[in-house]
Amino acid sequence: MATTIADDLTPMHHPRTWVGKYVWSQDHKVIAIQYSVTAIAIGLVALVLSVLMRLQLGFPGVFPWIQPENYLQYVSMHGMIMVVYLLTALLLGGFGNYMIPLMIGARDMVFPFVNMLSYWVYLLSVLVLVAGFFVPGGPTGAGWTLYPPQAISEGTPGSQWGIVTMLVSLAIFIVAFTMGGLNYVTTVLQARTRGMTLMRMPLTVWGIFIASIMGLLAFPALFVAAIMMLLDHVAGASFFMPSMMSMGQATDTLGGSPILFQHLFWFFGHPEVYIVALPAFGIVSDLISVHARKNIFGYRMMVWAIVIIGGLSFIVWAHHMYVSGMNPYFGFFFATSTLIIAIPTAIKVYNWLLTLWRGDIHLRVPMLFALAFLFTFIHGGLSGLFLGNVSVDVPLSDTFFVVGHFHMVMGVSPILVIFGAIYHWYPKIAGRMWNQALAQVHFWVTFLGVYAIYLPMHYLGVLGVPRRYYALGETSFIPESAHLANQAISIAAIVVFAAQFLFFYNMIWSLFRGPKAGPNPWGAASLEWQTPDTPPRHGNWGAKLPTVYRWAYDYSVPHAPRDFIPQDEPHPKDTAP
Amino acid sequence: MSLLRRLGEKSWETPGAEAYREPDSYRPAAATVGVYVYFGVATVIFTLIAAAYLARMGLPAAMEHGAGADWRAMPEPPLLWINSGILVLSSLAWEAARRLARRGEIGRMQAATLAGGGLGLLFLAGQLLLWWHYQTAGYFLSANPANAFFYLLTALHGLHLAGGIAAGVRALGQPGDAGRAARNVRLCAVYWHYLLLVWVLLAGLLVMT
Ligand code: HEM
Ligand SMILES: [Cu+2]
């Protein structure tokens, strides 16, 4: 194996065989595609689980094979897969891998072998996760938060085996992520081409870069928590298990602290929200700038906001634990820090809007998705301000208001960005365009559909409908209209689910039949569109690395011949004697 | 350039890359940066467990059953000190290797790396012996939270050391130019010192409580 140093060509080792090129590949682009396909595949499982949940909630009793314990298992696996195995893996392992080297002008990641290993270990974690569906007792039903003691106590679905596969899979995932994350961070620091200063990097790279650092520092908490719970479960330790009565009998656990787990979990869990959000922020900035033909408003502020959000998100975790009880001063501290995060976040939102302001907006599909993100993100952000207040959170906690909130802000928003990003970069990745009409239909059904799904959930939450409930039964405070709303939500969910097949059909159709894209169909300025080949070959840049002369946002520059200037085009000053 | 100044760059008006040097000329090697970034990860892991250790230790004992306080610290057999000494020696050997590499004395450097790696293995064997010792004395993982933390911490530390040995073998086994070998030796040495520091803090935590 030849080690690639990303900034020179000589030690580059081009594999000859098909297996070397596409299976045990060390090319960041192939690894990115492997990551993406795996993440989307497991994400589809989570999507199917959500439809099953909606069937049960909308039409209780119609599907006798969905038992209460099944419902809990669907909820848990759906949540965990969506957050960790789909979004994290797709945004960092997929987009991070593909975009970082191309956008900073590198030939590859700095540790290609570790990068390859990262993918295969990730695949292993997915296989262990899937194995959970087939072990006796099925997967865990403890909720994606896996709180002990219930996660490993009798009576919870999957408390024997399902929880073990879940925890082992998470530990493996974290090892894979750490290998990938070290690569992303080091590549950004070390392999930028000549002239690519930190502040000339596209915001996509900034988002992925900071998210990777956060992942490296946050996932260890989950790792530690998973190992400790495994020891509690299989080796009889009592880190998290208090002495308690279970099924009428005293367990032989002693003195452990469930709250300790919650702290560890949310020390990971809250930054995780931003690990998913920051890459989406970065990508959306670039989509808006390219398709509005304007430089991003307040570039430096955008970068600083990303960095500040990344830092702050490590000191707010306990806002997830208001109902677990805490010292009021702590509650005050965490409520305050939570609200402070709203400031840099709001700055970003204003800057996006100001970028759009009087722009030359092209409503192409990637732009539509970016705009849709603004809607759902602002929406979810506002309901988050409510929940950040202790006194408002306590009655709303564990209701569908929370479900509506976090789906808007961290479920739907990143997913919309991912769609936009795929529509945007697919012409570079595959060299072909999509069918625009189908893409438009896919957009409108998805965008309006998610509103039809999640808006009513806020209302249900205010009524007091609890989350993670298999059925509401005869509950006096829940009016008939709530059942009607539930049916409507379920129908919308099924329609949205079906519409995703348009997306996959379009993707496959375009791969074979789509019109040729050319190197730079959107007229974008950033480096990834300036590669000598489309799709880029192994090594990305041919004989010579590009040199960067400007930032990535030179759009509609007065007196320029075109309405964009690529990053590798010299200034007149540079070429004049 | 300081980080703050770099983050303050007005990238929309900077003249051009001609002002910048060839990146290779001033950046440290990727492997160096990678190792330092990993220190961040490992530090979080050990800090969190240490924090959990202190939190768990301070909890009131179980109320209903189980006699008395449930946290009983483990004894500290001489082997603990012997192992610590071996790890110190191992780190010293790596330090010698690092200095020899800088001076270009390749032959003696190789001897020193062998000594460093060998002592590392000896430390791991010693830790296993320590485990066995505790096991036979009845200090099982499930018997007491203090024991559980001890096994967890020593296992994670040992895994890091084993990983260091594997990486060292891989890095030094590769034929390459002398500059690269010297860099690898330096990284190994830094890694060993880091793990020594972690061990000193962990052992301190175990002994003090
Ligand atoms: C069409 C898409 C989706 C639908 C219809 C859907 C639906 C649902 C439903 C019905 C629940 C359970 C509510 C309950 O009973 O408590 C749920 C929970 C959850 N969903 Fe989604 N979801 C979708 C997409 C996503 C995405 C993209 C994410 C990514 C962040 C996500 C993350 C979660 C999480 C974290 C939970 C909580 C699990 C738990 O309570 O343990 N969902 N979803
Ligand atoms: Cu949070």
How many Cα atoms occupy the beta-carbon half-sphere of B83 within 13 Å? 21
Atom of ligand 1 nearest to the CA of A80: 35
Torsion angles phi and psi, residue A384, rounded to 5 = -65, -35
Q: Which residues of A touch B44 (CB under 8 A)?
A: 217, 220-221
Q: Contact at 8 Å (CB) between A181 and A212? A: yes
- Closest-approach residue (CA) in chain A for B71: A255
| pLDDT the model gives residue B14 | 63
Burial class (CB in 10 A: 0-12, 13-18, 19+), A497: middle
> Is-cis flag, bond preceding A328, omega within 30?
no
Q: Which atom of ligand 1 is nearest to the CA of A450?
A: 1
| Length in residues, chain A | 577
Say whether A573 and B16 touch across the interface (CB within 8 A). Answer: yes
Tell me, what's the pLDDT at A574? 58
In terms of pLDDT, which residue wins out, B186 or A5? Answer: B186
Instruction: Note the pTM of the prediction, 2 decimals.
Output: 0.94
Q: What is the position in ligand 1's atom list of the atom closest to the CA of A466? A: 16
d(CA A569, CA A573): 11
Q: Highest mean pLDDT range out of A18-22, A213-217, A567-571? A: A213-217
* Residues of chain B positioned with their CB less than 8 A from the CB of A8: 24
Positions of chain B with pLDDT lower than 50, given as ranges: 62-68
- Predicted confidence (pLDDT) per residue in A129-144, tens digit: 999 999 999 999 999 9
Is B98:B192 a contact under the CB 8 Å cutoff? no
Nearest CA to ligand 1 atom 30: A411
Once rounded to an integer, what is the mean pLDDT over residues A421-427?
A: 97
Residue whose structure tokens are 């190197």? A519
Contact B190, B80 (CB under 8 A): no
Out of A186, A193, A256, name the one closest to residue B34 (CB).
A186
Residue range A390-403, pLDDT digits in tens: 788 888 989 999 99
Q: Do A254 and B9 touch (CB under 8 A)?
A: no
Per the model's pLDDT, the better-predicted residue between A213 and B7 turns out to be A213
Contact B18 A574 (CB under 8 A): yes
Which of B21, B44, B187 would best serve as a mutation to test chain A binding (most A beta carbons within 10 A)? B44
- The number of beta carbons lying within 10 Å of the beta carbon of residue A85 is 26
Distance from CA of B71 to the nearest CA of A (A): 9
The predicted pLDDT at position A122 comes to: 98
Distance of CA A478 from the midpoint of ligand 1 (Å) = 22
A415 pocket-lining for ligand 1 (C-beta < 6 Å): yes
Task: Just give the CATH number of B30-208.
Answer: 1.20.120.80
Instruction: Calculate how close chain B gets to A558, using CA atoms only, in Å.
Output: 14
Q: Which two tokens stand for residue B172?
A: 């030094």
A252-256, A411-415, A560-564: range with highest mean pLDDT: A411-415
The model's confidence at residue A338, banded by pLDDT at 50, 70 and 90, is: confident
Report CA Rg, chain A: 24
Q: Determine the pLDDT at residue B15.
A: 62
Upstream peptide bond of A149 is cis (omega within 30 degrees of 0)? yes
pLDDT of residue B103: 87
Atom of ligand 1 nearest to the CA of A82: 29
Find, in chain A, the residue whose alpha carbon is nearest to that of B26: A190
**Residue-level pLDDT at A575:** 52
Residue of A175, A179, A182, A217 to mutate, interface with B, max B Cβ within 10 Å = A182
- What's the average model confidence in pLDDT over A476-484? 88
Name the residue in chain A with its Cα closest to that of B4.
Answer: A304
The answer to whether residues A387 and A405 touch, using CB atoms and an 8 Å cutoff, is: yes
Nearest ligand, measured from the Cα of A91: 1
Q: A342 or A79: which carries more pLDDT confidence?
A: A79
- Read off φ and ψ for residue B20, nearest 5 degrees: -100, 145
In this complex, which of A190, A216, A228 lies closest to B27 when CB atoms are compared? A190
pLDDT of residue B62: 46
Instruction: Inspect the interface and report whether the beta carbons of B59 and A573 lie closer than 8 Å.
Output: no
* Position A400, amino acid: F
The domain ranges of chain B are 30-208
**pLDDT on residue A577:** 40
Residues from chain A contacting residue B131 (CB–CB below 8 Å): none
Work out how many CB contacts closer than 8 A connect A with B: 157
Domain coordinates of chain A in residue numbers?
23-239+256-569
Over the stretch A495-541, which tens digit does the pLDDT of each residue have?
A: 999 999 999 999 999 999 999 999 999 999 999 999 999 899 999 99
**What share of chain A has pLDDT > 90, as a percent?**
76
CB contact under 8 A, B16 and A256: no
Contact indicator for A94, A35 with CB cutoff of 8 Å = yes
Among the partner-chain residues B12, B60, B70, the one whose CB lies closest to the CB of A295 is: B12
Residue A7 has pLDDT above 60, yes or no: no
How much is the pLDDT for B69?
57
C-alpha distance from A293 to closest chain B C-alpha (Å)? 15
Q: Which atom of ligand 1 is nearest to the CA of A467?
A: 16
Q: Verify whether ligand 1 is closer than 6 Å to residue A453 (CB atom).
A: yes
The chain B residue lying nearest A573, using CA atoms, is B15
Cβ A487 vs Cβ A420: under 8 Å: no
Phi, psi of A532 (to 5 degrees): -65, -30
CATH topology of domain A23-239+256-569: Cytochrome C Oxidase; Chain A (1.20.210)
Contact B12 A194 (CB under 8 A): no
| Residue B41 pLDDT | 97
pLDDT at A448 over 80: yes
Q: What is the pLDDT, as a whole number, of residue B176?
A: 66
B17·A238 Cβ contact <8 A: no
Query: What is the CB neighbour count within 10 angstroms for residue A286?
Result: 28
C-beta of residue A95 within 8 angstroms of C-beta of residue A422: no
Question: What is the chain A residue with the closest CA to B59?
Answer: A255
Q: Is A290 helix (H, G, I), strand (E, B) or coil?
A: helix
Tell if the CB–CB gap between B11 and A256 is shorter than 8 Å.
no
Q: Which residues of B touch A7 (CB under 8 A)?
A: 23-24
For A44-66, the pLDDT digits (tens) are 999 999 999 999 999 998 999 99
The alpha carbon of A141 and the centre of ligand 1 are apart by a number of angstroms equal to 14
Does the beta-carbon distance from A216 to B37 stay under 8 Å? yes
In this prediction, residues A280-285 reach a mean pLDDT of 97
Q: What is the pLDDT of residue A9?
A: 38
Alpha helices (runs of H) in A93-241, residue ranges in sequence order: 97-104, 112-131, 162-190, 203-235
Question: Are A194 and B23 a contacting pair at CB < 8 A?
Answer: yes
